[in-house]
C-alpha cells in the first residue's frame, strides 16, 4: 500500500483539489477525508434517527451514552 498525507483547509464551497507526487502509482485508489474536529451543532446533542429499516425497525445512534434514551426507543 502506498499512502500520501496532505493537510488542507476546507473552503466555504467545500471543494478540494489535490495533486499527488509523480511517484504515486497510477490505478485504483481510495480517498479518505478526516476533519480535524466535529462541526459544532446547535442545541443539545441527542439521539440521531435514520429512516426506519424494513426489518430492523428504528435505527438510533447515541453520540453521548450518558444521556437518557428517548421515550420512543
Tens digits of residue pLDDT in 10-67: 888 989 998 888 989 999 998 888 887 766 655 555 556 666 767 777 766 666 667 6
Whole-model pTM: value is 0.43
Query: Are 72 and 58 spatial neighbours (Cβ–Cβ below 8 Å)?
Result: yes
Query: Are 70 and 46 spatial neighbours (Cβ–Cβ below 8 Å)?
Result: yes
C-alpha cell of residue 34: 478526516
Q: How far is 73 from 69, CA to CA, in rounded Å?
A: 6
Amino acid at each position: 500500500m502506498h499512502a500520501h498525507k496532505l493537510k488542507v483547509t476546507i473552503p466555504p464551497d467545500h471543494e478540494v483539489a489535490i495533486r499527488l507526487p509523480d511517484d504515486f502509482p497510477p490505478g485504483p485508489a481510495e480517498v479518505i477525508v478526516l476533519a480535524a474536529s466535529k462541526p459544532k451543532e446547535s442545541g443539545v446533542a441527542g439521539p440521531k434517527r435514520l429512516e426506519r429499516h424494513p426489518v430492523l425497525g428504528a435505527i438510533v445512534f447515541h453520540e453521548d451514552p450518558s444521556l437518557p434514551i428517548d421515550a420512543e426507543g
